[in-house]
Amino acid sequence: MNSIEIASRKIDKGERLNFTEALALYQHNDILKLAELARMVKERKSGQYVYYNVNRHINLTNICVSGCPLCAFGCKAEEQRAYVMQKSEVIEIVSQTMRETPDLSEIHMVSALHPDKPFSYYLDIVAAVKRAAPQVHLKAFTPVEIVHFANISQLGITAVLEQLKAAGLDSLPGGGAEILDDSVRKIICPNKATTAEWIDVITAAHSLGLPTNATMLYGHVETIEQRIQHLITLRDIQDRTGKFQAFIAFPFHPANTGFTNLQRVSSWEDLKMISLARLVLDNFDHIKAFWMMLTLPIAQLALTFGADDLDGTVVEEKIIHAAGATTKKGITKKEIISFVEETGYLAVERDTFYRPLKISSGVKSYG
């Protein structure tokens, strides 16, 4: 029996894959076989449901001390495109979104690592957003930002999280993981949180009852083996804490970064990574196909490769588009529902904790 047959049998029985079996699956170029296996696992976990939410992204600033070669969003304060949002601007955006989008259930807020803004700036904004929209879930600040807050405040990671939680923070998005291997991070993001620091923030958040997502940025300088070890590291954390809500794999967009010599990986690679994540991360309930990074057609196809979540309406996004993403900056509920129903699944509007709010009829809508 070869490695693929062994892996297939284990997946069929609901048994865990090891590193060697995961690598064999990646190297196996029968992508329809991967789709078959990943879709089977997806349907065991979420049946015919595909999730989305009504959310609004806010990026507070693009002024950043890190200067990561992989980033096209961050810049110096003296650059023409530099900006910092004041609390009043943030609240105006939140209030306007609530007026225009009554179904809004989540604010998603991430930013750069500003050199001068004190920790109190972020605490004040969290508290103000929560006062303006107490019923809306606030998911904010990657582990990289939390490490930055700990450094500028001279507080520990746990104390930073405790103060943010007290101010109104409900969960963390889990970004900045890139590849959890310091030999890779030294090349793509040498001045921001290390692998150990990213893991420390995640485990501290989970211990405080703050759920997070988990992410991966693939398609730059990493090896396939490092991608698989990244997944296994996340799986090990989930075994201990159980507080990861979803995994999202982001393809690297090289435009305007320090890696413009690279090509964005192919859609074939995107679909392999999504199916592999679904098969390796046996203790994750949800695998997200983030349509803004993948494009809508690839995200729709990913629903057949094990994904069960398309993220949300977003409305406005700056970080990915600075790196050359050409997708729209927002999408309507009607469009998401149509994309899901074309695949034969049911579109489920959810809250951040994956509690269903509305379930589509299943009748295809192309309008």
Binding residues for S-adenosyl-L-methionine: 178
Lookup: tokens for 344: 């034969």
Q: Which residues are annotated as a binding site?
A: 64, 68, 71, 178
Tell me the three-class secondary structure of 313-339, residue by residue: CCCCCCHHHHCCCCCCCCCCHHHHHHH
- Nearest Cα residue to 202 out of 176, 181, 225: 176
Supply the DSSP string of 109-176, one letter for each residue: E-----SS--HHHHHHHHHHHHHH-TTSEEEE--HHHHHHHHHHHT--HHHHHHHHHHHT--BB----
CB 169 within 8 A of CB 180: no
Strands (E), the chain: 49-53, 55-58, 106-109, 137-140, 212-218, 244-251, 286-288, 309-312, 346-350, 356-359
Tell me the C-alpha distance between 115 and 100, whole Å. 34
- Nearest Cα residue to 145 out of 66, 234, 259: 66
- Nearest Cα residue to 361 out of 350, 349, 288, 298: 349
Q: Which residues are annotated as a binding site for [4Fe-4S] cluster?
A: 64, 68, 71
Angle between helices 19-27 and 3-13 (to 10 degrees): 110
DSSP state of 257: S
Q: What's the order of all strands across the beta sheet hosting 55-58?
A: 55-58, 106-109, 137-140
Residue 18 amino acid letter: N
Tell me the C-alpha distance between 28 and 147, whole Å. 38
User: Which residue's structure tokens are 């291997």?
Assistant: 181
